[in-house]
Amino acid sequence: MRRNLGILIVLAAGCRQDSSGLSAAGVSLGGEPAAAMVLPGATGSRTVPEVVAQIQHCRARRHYADLERWLIPARRSTTTILLRAVDRLMDANRRVQRAAAARFGPDAASPWDLSEVRDNLGLLSERSRLVRWNEHDTWAEVVIQEADRLPLRYERFERQDGQWLYAAPRVEPPLIKALEKLILVVDSISDRLSDPAFGVDDMDRAFRHRAGPLIFSVSARDANDRPDPGG
């Protein structure tokens, strides 16, 4: 049986899940799309919601260098490497979906659609919404909703040199390696679809046997605790 493997990918496991639901939500940004949250380029310290909006704005436009300034220094390089890999995977996914639709019909590759990865990144998801936040002296707990999903996610911000910065989850090297391999596999399946002898069953087998093991390995470390002063 064909299965949608996209739902198995969890890249934001470093954020604690909140099972309380939206009814507990306090302050919110109103659910505006991230791309609409454009703030003036004024200098100076930003509030937590303003930094969240800046991050969402940069993420929506793939402005990786601009996004880095809103991350704690220790996580800047690895986080943008992860985002670039995820975006390349999404590009490869769109290519294979189009190629399969052209060959076999509009829903031929939908069980293998990996689009859900883009909304499994906590605050860095393509569609994320600030639900509430709680500021402490040098750190803040931020609750995010990915797309329209529950449970909610807890994220950590830190105040450094008077500015709130996002302490993105750690990115382990095996995760990046698995993503890079998955991109190559998806692109190779897309290329094979130009061969008339490569049928829909061949495509299913290629996804199941070549992409499947990589998809199961694409997961960040699991951290179930809420943010705390110790990081």
- Residue 227 main-chain phi, psi, to 5 deg: -55, 145
Q: In which band, very low, low, confident or very high, does the pLDDT at 105 lie, cut at 50, 70 and 90?
A: very high
- Region 102-114: mean pLDDT is 92
- Counting every residue written for the chain, the total comes to 231
Cβ atoms of residues 198 and 189 within 8 Å: no
Rounded to an integer, what distance in angstroms lies between the CA atom of residue 138 and that of residue 144? 20
* Ramachandran quadrant class, 18 (left: phi over 0; alpha: psi -120 to 50; beta: rest): beta
pLDDT digits (tens, 9 = 90+) for 169-221: 999 899 999 999 999 999 999 999 999 999 999 999 999 999 988 887 764 43
Q: In which band, very low, low, confident or very high, does the pLDDT at 71 lie, cut at 50, 70 and 90?
A: very high
Q: In which band, very low, low, confident or very high, does the pLDDT at 86 lie, cut at 50, 70 and 90?
A: very high
Rounded to an integer, what distance in angstroms lies between the CA atom of residue 95 and that of residue 97? 5
Which residue ranges make up each domain of the chain? 5-217
pTM: 0.79
- Region 17-29: mean pLDDT is 38
Specify the pLDDT at position 216: 75
Cβ atoms of residues 133 and 49 within 8 Å: yes
Specify the pLDDT at position 166: 98
